[in-house]
Amino acid sequence: MPYERLRDALAKRLTPTVTTLPDGSIDRFCSIGSGSLDDIRTRSTLREEIGHEGRSSFQIDVESTEPGGQAVNAAEQLHALGSDVTCYGHLDDDLFASLPFETVSMGTPSIVYAFNFVDGDVMLAENRGIADWTLDDLRSVADLSDVFGVDAVCCGNWISVPGLEAAFHELGAATLPRVPFVLDPGDLLGAPDEGIDALQRALGALQDTFDVVLDANRTEIRAIASTLPGSYADDAARLAAIRGATDITAAVMHAPDVAAAATPDGDLRVPTLAVDEPARHTGGGDHFAGGLTYALAAGWDWRLALACGNVCASRFVETAATADIESLVDVARRAADDGA
């Protein structure tokens, strides 16, 4: 059982080296009201209120402000697991000074307004500067041999960073160590087919240098698979088709019920740990990416890697806090006791 093995593996407290990149955001977690109404708690209620004829104004209350971005969130989880992690991101703000791991800034962070509704989150982003990012911005702050001379790389937010496409093609022709390169592309829903096609070609090029692992949620996996010829009966078939079309090392899906993957070891599934009362949805996928990357950097097998991503994501969704080793060992132990 993967969770029983994960408990023992985590207890070894390995310290792999990991790089995360390239985004960063100032995340403002908000509630929303409408005049004298109580706070709006669900997306469906917000839709109804917006649809009311004549209603045009809502009140936003910023409840907390936190450092964010996929690279930052994944780095927080990697650090909590014991990784020697460096985050190369857009971090030019005092808010990021408190992060407990090494950071290297390449520019101005985005601003994100996050609304954690009961039936799902809504995020509104102001991307400031990151859309103009290129690999030269990374070169300006570090040698590529230092950035990528690690045990694994975790990259996020392709959808907001157009320069990643060209960077992947360039990195695919570079002479760098072959290590796992985990990419969470971000919210692809609504992205044009030609953009998703370009992503897949870029991943294929990147595979020439790295062991590329595409990591996405169910909606994103279905969006990618929809651009491929043929039809697919289930998520396992979609993952296999994506891996086959791109020739990458693995395609991974994280979802509320299961983590699944098409890998060199075959098609795998590991049940996700149920969370009855989520404290926060936003960031769960980033913490999954952090756990998955840690496991791959440590050289663990695929089933163990999926279980590691699951416990990190589930604990974050349950508590809205990044879990440390002790908490995750406990979660893995309880999952093993439950027969997961």
pLDDT in tens, 276-306: 888 888 899 999 999 999 999 999 999 999 9
Name the band, by pLDDT with cuts 50, 70 and 90, for residue 140: very high
Among 60-69, 185-194, 317-326, 330-339, the least confident range: 330-339
- Asked if 10 contacts 80 with a C-beta cutoff of 8 angstroms, the reply is no
Give the helix, strand, coil percentages of the chain, each rounded to 5: 40, 25, 35
Q: Is the dihedral of CA 101, 171, 221, 114 positive or negative?
A: positive
Could you read off the pLDDT of 84-133 as tens digits, one per residue? 999 999 999 999 999 999 999 999 999 999 888 877 778 888 888 788 99
The answer to whether the beta carbons of residues 77 and 70 sit under 8 Å apart is no
In a domain, 224, yes or no: yes
pLDDT of residue 49: 76
Number of domains in the chain: 1
The residue among 189 and 56 whose pLDDT is bigger is: 189
Report, as an integer, the average pLDDT of 309-332.
Answer: 94
| Region of residue 157 (phi > 0: left; psi between -120 and 50: alpha; otherwise: beta) | left
Residue 235 lies in a domain: yes
Q: Which residues are within 8 A (CB) of 213 and not within 5 positions of it... i.e. 6 or more apart?
A: 180, 181, 182, 183, 248, 249, 250, 251, 252, 292, 296
Beta pairing partners, 260: 253, 269
CATH code, domain carrying 207 = 3.40.1190.20
36 pLDDT higher than 70? no
Task: Kindly state whether residue 285 falls inside one of the protein's structural domains.
Answer: yes
55 domain residue, yes or no: no
pLDDT higher than 80, residue 151: yes
38 secondary structure, DSSP code? P
Q: Is residue 41 part of a domain?
A: no
CA-based radius of gyration for the chain: 20
pTM, rounded to two decimals: 0.94
Given a cut of 60, whether residue 51 has pLDDT beyond it is yes
Q: What pLDDT, on a 0 to 100 scale, did the predictor assign at position 210?
A: 98
For residue 46, is it within any domain?
Answer: no
Q: Residue 76: which domain range?
A: 2-26+68-112+128-337
